[in-house]
Homo-oligomer: A and B are copies of this chain.
């Protein structure tokens, strides 16, 4: 009697013994573990996670302002300055005043920056493929596709 009364709406019996752990309870530790696993690769190239994130986003398209970059990678406007300093000092990025608006700094990857980004990402994704190889083929495909879809959602709300 007490078993069924709470499963009224929806087809997911989350009451009592749930059918699965919470998504965040699986996603967050997995994400942390992956970041930790990437760290040695980044360390070997003298890159912080923020620096790597910057390289990744700059590669897609050159960005006009640092604020836009900060917002895109969900970092603090003032905190990425040191990151950009370090990347510029290693000639991995260009940071030139926009001739059209000299307040802004045009950001772009240098060839060396692109090369390093490629090397690091290749190493990381090679490792990831080894992990994904543990999954059956269709499961792997569904995982990747679902992950891409969900992570592309603009903003999530549960209510």
**CA of A37 to CA of B28 in the docked complex: distance in angstroms?**
13
Does chain B have a CB within 8 A of A149? yes
Copies of this chain, whole number? 2
Pair A12/B126 contact, Cβ less than 8 Å = yes
A29 / chain B contacts, CB cutoff of 8 Å: 74, 151
**CA of A74 to CA of B16 in the docked complex: distance in angstroms?**
25
Pair A23/B159 contact, Cβ less than 8 Å = no
A12 / chain B contacts, CB cutoff of 8 Å: 125-126, 129
Contact of A128 among B22, B30, B37 (CB under 8 A): B22
Given A140-B142, A158-B38, A147:B14 Cβ within 8 A = no
Does chain B have a CB within 8 A of A155? yes
Name which of A30, A53, A129, A159 has the most chain B CB atoms within 10 A of its CB: A30
The 7 closest A-B pairs by CB, nearest first: A142-B142, A127-B158, A143-B146, A14-B125, A26-B151, A27-B31, A28-B31
